Amino acid sequence: MVDNKYNGWTNYATWRINLEMFDGGYEILKGYDANDLKEVVEEMLVQDNDNATTLSYAMAFISDVNWYEIAQHINEEE
């Protein structure tokens, strides 16, 4: 069996999105669920990107994110 975890997270995409998009901003995200967090990231990507190809690759990347794991981590932070 292969362990695909990355730095303790489900996978690289989950670790990277948490690090790049949410790390340090947990307090304002308390109470957000997995769907809320995904919508936040999608909106940031759309607003920051005029190139359809780049946006398509970014959306494909975030499809691998374990949003539930990030939401649980944020909502358990004290």
| pLDDT surpassing 60 at residue 3 | yes
Does a structural domain hold residue 59? yes
Domain span at 17: 12-76
Q: Which of 74, 6, 4 has its CA nearest to residue 38?
A: 74
- Cross-strand bridge partners of residue 9: 6
The whole-model pTM stands at 0.83
What pLDDT does residue 25 have? 79
Mean pLDDT of 64-71: 97
Mean pLDDT of 39-57: 90
Does a structural domain hold residue 1? no
Spatial distance between the Cα atoms of 77 and 53, rounded to a whole number of angstroms: 36
**Cβ-contact 44, 62 below 8 angstroms:** no
Q: How many domains does the chain have?
A: 1
